[in-house]
Amino acid sequence: MLRVSGLFIYPIKSLGGIAVPTAEVTDRGLRFDRRWMLINADNGFITQRTVPSMALIRIALAPTGLYVNSRLHPEPLFIPFEDRLPEWADVYIWEDTCRAQFVSAEADRWFSAALGTTCRLVFMPEETRRVTDPAYAPEGSITSFADAFPFLLIGEASLVDLNSRLDQPVPMDRFRPNIVFTGGGPFFEDSMREFFIRDIRFQGVKLCARCPIPTIDQETAERGKEPLRTLARYRFRDNKVLFGQNLIHGGSGEIAVGDPILVS
């Protein structure tokens, strides 16, 4: 039996994740997941690919907003869920353009100081509907500020297999999944084309081609060569290193750690 063993959200794209016991599935992914994003002066998205120190910023959920802390900044920041500026912009994520709302001048100053680079924080409101790649997902499927799809799925057995080949094992947080599961062999997620968690239908649509972020230690922000160097020896296909399965879904509701996964 496959079971959900971990659920993770990343409220601000490319910052620290939050492990949650239950999560609400919305039309564009888990609630709060990647609904905020940092952008540069050209309104382009910023990630750990170019600013590794983003890994050192941690987020906690509160009833009315997000608490943000970093060893790079002496004071914490509180970001209310509802209080935003009446200021909008078109922002860019890869080939996509989205309408987003600026959050606050305080947040802009805080993140610019913590990261040592000028940036602004934006939010994706409900009226912004960013569609997924039609080459892989059906019409009407939308996502947040995630790279491409609403969910990333990884099996614990896949990480165990990878770590058995490494001199120094790496934790799951290097790969930033939304759903982790137990059961099945290594890379069983590759074959999970359709499955259900409770009444919500998920579809595996594209294996995840990994960028350099898994080489960044999420505790120190130091960059190395592993685990991508080792993964490339046995998970290299079409000039891409593959680890994890991107998902789309149908339906909404709550899912929880411990839920069975029923594969069609």
pLDDT one-digit tens code per residue, 60-115: 999 999 999 998 788 999 999 999 999 999 999 999 999 999 999 999 999 999 99
DSSP letter, residue 5: E
Most distant CA atoms of the chain, gap in Å: 51
**pLDDT of the residue at 29:** 97
pLDDT band at 137 (very low <50, low <70, confident <90, very high): confident
Residue 237 dihedral angles phi and psi, to the nearest 5°: -150, 130
> Ramachandran region of residue 35, left (φ > 0), alpha (ψ -120 to 50) or beta?
alpha
Which helix (DSSP H) or strand (DSSP E) does residue 91 occupy?
A: strand 88-93
Domain tally, the chain: 1
Question: Tens digit of pLDDT for each residue in 3-19?
Answer: 999 999 999 999 999 99
The CATH number covering residue 229 comes to: 2.40.33.20
Cβ contact 135:91 at 8 Å: no
Which one-letter amino acid corresponds to residue 216? I
Domain that holds residue 51: 2-263
**pLDDT of the residue at 74:** 85
**pLDDT of the residue at 133:** 87
Pairing between strand 18-19 and 2-9? antiparallel
Question: Tens digit of pLDDT for each residue in 237-258?
Answer: 999 999 999 999 999 999 999 9
**pLDDT of the residue at 246:** 98
Question: Tens digit of pLDDT for each residue in 122-135?
Answer: 999 999 999 998 88
Question: Tens digit of pLDDT for each residue in 147-200?
Answer: 999 999 999 999 999 999 999 999 999 999 999 999 999 999 999 999 999 999
CA distance linking residue 200 with residue 21, whole number of Å? 17
**pLDDT of the residue at 160:** 98
3-state secondary structure of 17: coil
Instruction: Note if the bond before 227 is cis, omega within 30 degrees.
Output: yes
The CA–CA distances, whole Å, from 203 to 22, 27, 99, 207, 210 equal 20, 14, 27, 12, 20
